[in-house]
Structure 1
């Protein structure tokens, strides 16, 4: 039986001693050699280097799991081309997301082909060749993350990273019968990713199953202070059961399938499957989402694409990519602000529709095309592919693309579950159930059965929680820490405040307590502990806090904001300024020594 590379299977085999990561790498290179490197890969690591990485890999949750990255994502020591040889440079440091995955034990195999500068949804815009659909080489693979999707679907790696600005992490997933997770913007770092539209970019995950995509996301999602678009308020990634009854939104007006009756039929079958799973099917007004989608390439965001390529020679750019990007030069400041105002109006209208539903389900794409047809009409047909994907990042939504059947000619069809920001974990639970409702589903283009792969491990939906920064007597090991632990609060991390804060030793307090005050002149960097507790417990905790202390909003290094202890300014008059010690624990230690 052919080795399935789904993460749960490999991990189980390693744990039982049935195979080793080294044997998996040997198998992968044999498969790549049989299929050939081009056009799916742009750069492949030397096998001996990969095996050396296995020997040095941490035994984390992704230990020995092979993966690939789209070649607009930096890997230390490897060229980053963005599908443009003239642009190529050798990265000195890997992207944050790559560092996190390797720290979890994952093994990088190589870098994959893409629509040049991540501009396109079809996969035909690269001088390195055209990755074809794994089920029919006459058809497009989808882009811009074409190679990343193909190598997963073909069983060459367990998962891969793409990027998704307009649908590039979803359309290739649909066309190749795999899962594409487009996370909420800012929860996976984009530091080390060459931007397409920097304000709208997201790193995406391709995998054989929803469970695998979730496993990768658990390792990849983290706040990165070096990423200016990172979301400090983002929760950790966790698969959660959705509330009941689950309201699934479908458009209240007919969608365009561009004369593809098979895709239309498969979409309606998907709706029937969701109803069979107990979901409440709810019509909603798709107009504000549709109108937002039209703005992505007609609005000022196309000018953002100039950021990475403005100094490139036109002759070095793919002709279609060049024309699209150059259109950004025609966007005026006035038109830009007009678009921002219109987007705000669409967002308000879209927010009203979310009151009707928990999740919307759309075809990932209304149809697909043969490579020859795409090359003959590259702009119009590509635009059709983004009809149901382009709006997602502009409206700050989460999305998960899952397989949903095949046309009679064997071409895959997929749907996308779309939720509000930070609904990623709930989408995973729904998406896994929907994927598994398909009869006889296989993993990508392999013969491995979905039914043999592990399902997602969903937890009950989390209660609302509050992060609280404590600075003194509530620290671990201090006299009042029990007020946190008896409320089941969880210690999350040790952090430091931003500049402007000063710390004082308050006189006459029992037990001894410090007072943290924002005066605007302090150097900051005061050590605090971040604890997370249930929102209901937070109220009873606050009720215990005596004056002059209270709970306010603290700003941490990097700009992240949390609730935390602050002191009324009058109480520190005459108190000892202990800011120089950098924290209460350090001050206690110094006084103990003295």
Structure 2
């Protein structure tokens, strides 16, 4: 599968945004991007025509004019992307990789509408395992999508085409879906990032359902930062989706400098020594980075994973395809049909029993994960050739789902990352999993790991762009603390108990003065801006938005929270003090920070 390359092949969001910001190019270059996407490439099911692209660029120009040329208000301005062909795009066919099922979509899926509102430009729709049933990328009448590194191997599925076009750098990002692992397995097989969001964060309105209670729209990208940015723009509550949820804003928004990760106490690689070697090397490297790895009982995870296809949950797929099964069963891929028809074996009593078991196992899994920042697993235990899949299409597909099938049943968030290259030149991946709404926390660790691993992006040969200055995570408030709330100090627990995470130590602007407040218990400082002052050491903490009010409510007078300027010009929320309380306070500005002052009071 040869790919014609352009100067834009493998560009990340950072690359596109910088080029447009610097006026180094115009969106007309997307005609070149479209030309490199070949119709005979099995990853694509449909491509924008030149006329469609011209109309989209005209609308994009109108969008830019509406915001008076402010590219900051169109964060995906002119960025090319792709969409899995079970997601609706107005005026495009939605086939779910089944020609007999195909229909012309009248309106955009919510996620597509939101991305285009941010300026993204659709290049094409991508191939998939038919009706999103499979983790292999071979169950499509339009042909199997080969691995981006070695065409003898599978790409993974069901979001095979979306993963492939991102891995080869044809678009900056792509939408997939994930019910059993379809947004993670193809990422692992193609050396890219796969973000499987919390159920209900990204709307499924306009998605052809597989298992409606479990389906998630997922994001493929070359970097964790890009995947997180796209998910944030595409996500949010949607009243048109009965399963959409509002983020309660209480979960951690980042993972600290000393992560504690759970790992399975028993690992199965089904004889794939190459995947096993990469995972073991990854564990060793993480340990060297100071990350604590703790084995946990994997039994409940394994038991829940088995429920997805070996129990009544498969009947959800039967419900989704009932009309096709009754009218045109021969139009369905034989392997897909054999899977979906299993749903006829169960009755309502079986479904309720399965739901009770799911709830029990899910509760156990979430209890196991308490006290950990995340669970770390191989994305897939093994990788197979196209020829091997022909021999054992169901067994090998099941093996691919060993570390993915339980995720949505347990209401977990997940992030698949490249981990390294096997000795045969094929990639292997890892996945981080955590409870619902920990998506940004996983991304914070994922960005650090991707930078540390320093692997090429997909199969583009490009390197990861420099990490940007950490910005406050969505659904959080960045707070500067200066005294008793510093890490290791007596009141720091008030932050940690609310899932706040230390971001960095830095300095205020050079016009602040620090005072020791008399009679405060525990001892506390007061910070005030002055005509003549100095830079004072502070710590920046990100606290979940919904917990911020609780935190502020515990702050006693004369202290409060206001706006504080940092040495680099940023403004954050921070501790301030009523001026009247400073008259009897000791000026300790010369110490440069609270820690130095406290140390000076200790006996020699």
TM range (shorter): 0.7 to 0.9
Q: Deviations over 1:85-137 (max 9, x none)?
A: 00011011110000000000000111100000000000000001111001000
- Is the Cα–Cα contact under 8 Å of residues 165 and 171 in structure 2 kept in the other structure? yes
Q: Matches of residues 486-525 of structure 1 in structure 2 within 5 Å? A: none
For the residue of structure 2 that corresponds to 1:399, the secondary structure is strand
Q: Matches of residues 325-404 of structure 1 in structure 2 within 5 Å? A: 325-404=340-419
Q: Tell me the equivalent position of 1:49.
A: 52
Matched, 1:29 2:29: no
Q: Which blocks of at least 5 consecutive residues in structure 2 are unaligned?
A: 1-5, 65-73, 479-544, 556-604
| CA distance in 1: counterparts of 2:151 and 2:386, whole angstroms | 8
Q: Matches of residues 86-485 of structure 1 in structure 2 within 5 Å? A: 86-235=100-249, 240-253=253-266, 255-312=267-324, 313-439=328-454, 441-450=455-464, 452=465, 454=467, 457-459=470-472
Matched, 1:65 2:79: yes
Q: Deviations over 1:364-401 (max 9, x none)?
A: 00011001110221000100000000000000000000
| CA distance in 2: counterparts of 1:80 and 1:159, whole angstroms | 19
Q: Tell me by how many angstroms 1:234 deviates.
A: 4.5
For the residue of structure 2 that corresponds to 1:437, the secondary structure is helix
Q: Deviations over 1:325-346 (max 9, x none)?
A: 0001111112111111111221
Larger displacement relative to structure 2 (9-18 or 267-276): 267-276
Q: Tell me the equivalent position of 2:15.
A: 9
For the residue of structure 2 that corresponds to 1:249, the secondary structure is strand
| CA distance in 2: counterparts of 1:232 and 1:376, whole angstroms | 44
Q: Tell me the equivalent position of 2:484.
A: none
Q: Tell me the equivalent position of 2:486.
A: none
Alpha-carbon distance change, 113 to 235 in structure 1, aligned in 2, over 3 angstroms: farther
Q: Tell me by how many angstroms 1:55 deviates.
A: 2.9
User: Structure 2 length as normaliser, TM-score?
Assistant: 0.74
For the residue of structure 2 that corresponds to 1:341, the secondary structure is helix
Q: Which blocks of at least 5 consecutive residues in structure 1 are unaligned?
A: 466-530, 542-594
User: Structure 1 length as normaliser, TM-score?
Assistant: 0.76
Q: Deviations over 1:467-502 (max 9, x none)?
A: xxxxxxxxxxxxxxxxxxxxxxxxxxxxxxxxxxxx
Q: Tell me by how many angstroms 1:464 deviates.
A: 8.7
Q: Tell me the equivalent position of 1:497.
A: none
| CA distance in 2: counterparts of 1:457 and 1:218, whole angstroms | 16
Q: Tell me by how many angstroms 1:354 deviates.
A: 1.3
| CA distance in 2: counterparts of 1:277 and 1:63, whole angstroms | 37
Q: Deviations over 1:160-189 (max 9, x none)?
A: 000000000000001011100000000000
Q: Tell me by how many angstroms 1:532 deviates.
A: 6.9
Count of matched residue positions in the alignment of Structure 1 and Structure 2: 469
| CA distance in 1: counterparts of 2:35 and 2:158, whole angstroms | 27
| CA distance in 2: counterparts of 1:362 and 1:456, whole angstroms | 29
Alpha-carbon distance change, 250 to 532 in structure 1, aligned in 2, over 3 angstroms: closer
| CA distance in 1: counterparts of 2:115 and 2:339, whole angstroms | 33
Alpha-carbon distance change, 234 to 82 in structure 1, aligned in 2, over 3 angstroms: farther
- Is the Cα–Cα contact under 8 Å of residues 31 and 53 in structure 2 kept in the other structure? no
Alpha-carbon distance change, 409 to 456 in structure 1, aligned in 2, over 3 angstroms: farther
- Is the Cα–Cα contact under 8 Å of residues 8 and 453 in structure 1 kept in the other structure? no
- Is the Cα–Cα contact under 8 Å of residues 250 and 547 in structure 2 kept in the other structure? no
Q: Tell me by how many angstroms 1:49 deviates.
A: 1.6
Q: Please tell me the root mean square deviation across aligned C-alpha atoms, in Å.
A: 2.2
| CA distance in 1: counterparts of 2:546 and 2:354, whole angstroms | 39
Alpha-carbon distance change, 305 to 123 in structure 1, aligned in 2, over 3 angstroms: same
- Is the Cα–Cα contact under 8 Å of residues 248 and 546 in structure 2 kept in the other structure? no
| CA distance in 2: counterparts of 1:461 and 1:194, whole angstroms | 29
